[in-house]
Amino acid sequence: MLSNFFSHDFLNTVRRVGSGASVVPLDHDKYPGLKGRFLAIRQTPAGLMLIGDKGPNVYGMDASLIIDLGGDDLYLNNAGAPVFEIRERMVSGIRYPTGLVIDFEGDDRYITPKFAAVASGFFGLGLILDMAGNDFYNGGQLSLGASFFGMGCLMDMAGNDTYVCSEGGQGCAFFGGAYLYDEKGNDLYQGAKCVQGFGGPSGLGQLHDVRGKDHYRAGWKHGSSYGTKGIYQACSQGVGWGFRKRAGGGIGILHDFGGNDLYEAGNFSQGTGYFLGLGILRDDAGHDVYRGSRYCQGSAAHQAAGALLDFNGNDVYSGKIAANQGAAWDLSVACLVDDAGNDRYKAADFSLGAGAQNGMGMFFDGEGEDRYESPARALGFSGDLSYGGGRNAGNMGVFLDMGGGRDFFAVKDRKNNMFCIQGNMEIFLDE
């Protein structure tokens, strides 16, 4: 049924019929939060339903359905999210479990800082489809394609857009599904924590961006859980996250199809899995820059899996503190795969294909002339085996550069055109 709302035939029919409709009188006393010109205003058992004309409108009242034919509009309401009641800081009931917005064109602003608004599926279904325009989305916690025991979806088909939220958004799911899809444009994604493709327990959170030069930024508000000054917690950009001894993680995916992109995030980010979670960051094309902190760029810890996959372009990777670029800890599997390009890697301790506590960390670089700056405990490193007395198993740290180009290594005992196997499954190969 929902697919019918997004079919070209349905959307074209709605636009054609709406264009020929007459404007209805607006009762400002009954609807004080509405401004502009409207073709339909109906209060139904399923909630308020509105059709706005092609001019600028203000939506300042919660609504279950909004169809806007054009204009630079301002959304100050639930904006494609279920309507619920809060009493004494607790959710007391769901009034209307479905919220849907279809906006055909215009440079629109969706600004609602309250909890679980703007394409949020909080115990229900929340959807926004914005067809065109340079749009600005600003939400609070659990917004901009987020869910908690529901489904939240934000689809923007064109324009240079800005997405800003606090915690839990931009493709963030707990016990449900969440999806942010951007078709084209040079976009900015910014969030504090658990954003940009985050899968919490029983959640599938996805962010897909098809075209454009995009900037992803996460983690500037919450300090590092390790207490490191100047480092922040992000848990973002393709992260599957669980809560140890409580609930296993879900699946988080960030997929960028093309463009010269910039990824910036704090700890646990950029293709990371934590406690039974799976995190994936995939970039298909472009000259990209990745900046992260501890546990980033294809990393995993505590029975999890993480991967960063970059298939083309001259890319730059930078990781801080420890556990970057194909690092697995405690019965986990992690990898960084860069298929082509003249790439630069700056890594910290326990990186570039490193495994410890029965972890398997893998690094692969295909074609190109690459530069590697790292300490000694990297480039195919196998670490401690103290957890559970070693569990009668080993680690694996694998580094493979298969491009055949002339590569540079800052570590003295690693050279171009070299193969070695050391210790507890430490494998290094540069062709």
Q: Is 89 exposed, middle or buried (0-12, 13-18, 19+ CB in 10 A)?
A: exposed
* Same domain (yes/no): 269, 320: yes
How far is 70 from 66, CA to CA, in rounded Å? 12
In degrees, rounded to 5, the angle at the alpha carbon of residue 203 between the alpha carbons of residues 199 and 205 is: 50
- Assess whether 202 and 254 both reside in one domain: yes
Domain boundary among 158, 185, 212: 185
Q: How many domains does the chain have?
A: 2
CB 162 within 8 A of CB 187: yes
Q: Are residues 125 and 190 in the same domain?
A: no
Residues 107 and 204 in one domain: no
Distance of CA 161 to the CA centre of its chain: 15
Claim to verify: residue 181 and residue 219 sit in the same structural domain: no
Claim to verify: residue 289 and residue 395 sit in the same structural domain: yes
Mean pLDDT for the chain? 96
Listed residues 152, 185, 218: the one ending a domain? 185
Q: Please identify, among 185, 213, 240, the residue that sits at the C-terminal boundary of a domain.
A: 185
* 181 plus 194 within the same structural domain: no
Residues 44 and 138 grouped into a single domain: yes
Cα separation of 87 and 168, whole Å?
22
Mean pLDDT for back-to-back runs of 10 residues, the chain (431 residues)? 68 74 91 97 97 97 98 98 86 91 98 97 98 98 98 98 98 99 99 99 99 96 94 98 97 98 99 99 99 98 99 98 98 98 98 98 97 96 94 96 93 93 93 92
- Do 181 and 204 have their domain in common? no
- Quote the CA–CA distance of 68 and 103 in Å, as a whole number: 5
Largest CA distance in the chain: 80
CA 215 to chain centre: 12
Q: Are residues 135 and 213 in the same domain?
A: no
Asked if residue 229 and residue 215 are part of one domain, the reply reads yes
The pTM assigned to this predicted structure is 0.95
Residues 378/411, Cβ–Cβ less than 8 Å: yes
Q: Distances in Å between the alpha carbon of 183 and those of 61, 186, 212, 217, 222?
A: 29, 10, 9, 19, 31
* End-to-end C-alpha distance for the chain, whole angstroms: 54
Q: What is the rounded distance in angstroms from the CA atom of residue 52 to the CA atom of residue 38?
A: 4
Residues 116, 218 within the same domain: no
Segment holding 112, helix H or strand E: strand 109-112
How much is the pLDDT for 3?
Answer: 63
Report how far residue 295's alpha carbon sits from residue 268's, in angstroms, rounded to the nearest whole number. 5
78's torsion region: left (phi>0), alpha (psi -120 to 50) or beta? alpha
| Host domain of residue 153 | 1-169+177-185
Q: Taking a C-beta distance cutoff of 8 angstroms, is the pair 302, 275 a contact?
A: yes
